[in-house]
Amino acid sequence: MHRDTLQDELSRILGVAGDGVPGDVRVSGAADLDGALRVSALATTAMSALAAAVDALLRRTSGEPGLEARVDRALVDTWLGRHIRPAQGSFPSPWDPFSGAFPTADGSWIRTHANAPHHRAALLVALALSDPQTVEELSAAIASRGADELESAIVAAGGAAAAFRSPAEWMRSVPGSAVAAEPLIARTDTGPARAGSMWHPEPARPLAGLRVLDLTRVIAGPAATQVLAGLGADVLRIDPDTWDEPAVLPYVMAGKRSARLDATTPAGRRTLADLLAAADVLVHGYRAGAIDHLGLGEGERRRLRPGLVEVGVRAYGWSGPWAGRRGFDSLVQFSTGIADIGRRRADTATPVSLPVQALDWTTGYLAAAAAVAGITRRQVSGRGSTWRLSLARTAHALTTLTREGAASASAGGADSVFGAEQRIETHDGALLLAPPPFRVGETTLRFDHVATRLGGDPPAWL
């Protein structure tokens, strides 16, 4: 990748009338996650793009040119899932014992994902296991199957898994070549916006009053909407009664409200449609077709809310045979060759994944940048927009990133302007939140609460 390719791509996609160039952002601080792959560099470039998008929005709404945009690289690394911790003790592990890397009969490996009950059940169905009690039982069943064959069986059963592949094998595959051909962030401008937004931007809270409908789960999508909440938006996350992810919530629910809603019922569908009709931004991360099955296909979304800024996140891209496949960061690392790069760098026979869920967090911050850019574009053009991202395309950016392809840092450590650790009281005890990783003028991420449980609010806008 030649010099500044990634920054240029983000500037072209996110920029508005020449504003919002990641190169205009001052980056300082030392990285600690660049190893086999340039995790810090990619994440810092994504955060710089977010800061630049915020800068462009502030220039448009306040008319003040020349705001100083700053990013601290060490804090960016922290905000890849290490930004919050309990004041006492530690968080429980989000990983089910049956989630992990297992050797297969053909001398390869497979990564399983059993954190959600229905994914765990699908894994056991594919393995013809009724009620295994130990990981050793699971491992023995996996060891009798080939990686590709078992991956297909688990996916066919409604589960999620990834066979171990090298980068070359992934790029030679049809899904891999399809993802590589997609832009890092795809944008489509849509129809004219209608009046009626409650948005009232403020210098320190540029998204104040903006309504964000959050239909996301786990990390990437929720990370994006957490940023929007930190910039002042009214973020309302909707989940059915059947879903929960308690181990993940503290990381992604700062500043948000959360409501339960059964959108499979007529009443629930009407409520969800009403919420969408009054929203400014929709962020969704469900599998392909899931929102359509709730009666909110693409045409209906645009009809209900003309000028909607819509941001969608998937695991394996938006084209090719895997566009609708379930996936998670840990699986995408296996599929795209990242775990193989780690294995070769460590000179070991076993797969080595990244030290953090970097695909999730980086994609989330890019999605937040897209949402902010979409709001600015609507101010400029009066039209809505649709933005599409995926974990697999972020993985492609990471595996092809050269030393010259990302935001560079100036000398020096963390800047004091980024503040100190914040203590937030919750129903489940006090949490300590790291300082925000960027600042643009007076604007940075500000949170006054963290929702550690789903469903504490009514399904209604403030």
Confirm if 262 and 241 have CB atoms less than 8 A apart. Answer: yes
> At 288, is the pLDDT very low, low, confident or very high (cuts 50, 70, 90)?
confident
Higher pLDDT, 438 or 288: 438
Of 46-60, 202-216, 368-382, 400-414, least confident by mean pLDDT is 400-414
> At 3, is the pLDDT very low, low, confident or very high (cuts 50, 70, 90)?
very low
Query: Is 458 part of a structural domain of the chain?
Result: no
Is residue 314 over pLDDT 60? yes
pLDDT of the residue at 12 = 81
Higher pLDDT, 11 or 270: 270
Nearest-10 Cα torsion for 49, 408, 74, 206 = -20
DSSP for 72-128 reads: EHHHHHHTTT-SEEESSS-PPP---TT-EEEE-TTS-EEEE--SSHHHHHHHHHHHT
The number of distinct structural domains making up the chain is 1
Is residue 164 over pLDDT 90? yes
> Which residues lie below 8 Å from residue 168, measured CB to CB, with a gap of 6+?
337
pLDDT of the residue at 153 = 98
Q: Span 306-332, mean pLDDT?
A: 97
CA distance readout (Å), 442 to 50, 71, 83, 204: 15, 14, 21, 5
> Which pTM does this prediction carry?
0.95
> At 408, is the pLDDT very low, low, confident or very high (cuts 50, 70, 90)?
low
Structure tokens of 30? 């030392």
Q: Span 30-48, mean pLDDT?
A: 93
pLDDT tens digit sequence for 118-162: 999 999 999 999 989 999 999 999 999 999 999 999 999 999 999
> At 413, is the pLDDT very low, low, confident or very high (cuts 50, 70, 90)?
very low
pLDDT tens digit sequence for 58-113: 999 987 776 889 999 999 999 999 999 999 999 999 999 999 999 999 999 999 99
Query: Is 380 part of a structural domain of the chain?
Result: yes
Q: Span 426-451, mean pLDDT?
A: 96
Q: Span 215-238, mean pLDDT?
A: 98
pLDDT of the residue at 186 = 96
pLDDT of the residue at 407 = 62
State how beta strands 429-433 and 26-28 pair.
unpaired
Which CATH number is 392's domain given? Answer: 3.40.50.10540
Query: Is 281 part of a structural domain of the chain?
Result: yes
> Which residues lie below 8 Å from residue 135, measured CB to CB, with a gap of 6+?
97, 98, 100
Domain of residue 42, residue span: 5-91+180-317+356-440
Query: Is 212 part of a structural domain of the chain?
Result: yes
Of 386-390, 405-409, 448-452, least confident by mean pLDDT is 405-409
> At 34, is the pLDDT very low, low, confident or very high (cuts 50, 70, 90)?
confident
> At 17, is the pLDDT very low, low, confident or very high (cuts 50, 70, 90)?
very low
CA distance readout (Å), 82 to 77, 454, 459: 8, 21, 30
Query: Is 261 part of a structural domain of the chain?
Result: yes
Higher pLDDT, 397 or 419: 397
Structure tokens of 253? 């629910």
Nearest to 449 by CA among 161, 256, 216, 210: 256
Distance CA 358, CA 43 (A): 8
> At 398, is the pLDDT very low, low, confident or very high (cuts 50, 70, 90)?
very high
What percentage of residues in the chain have a pLDDT greater than 70?
94
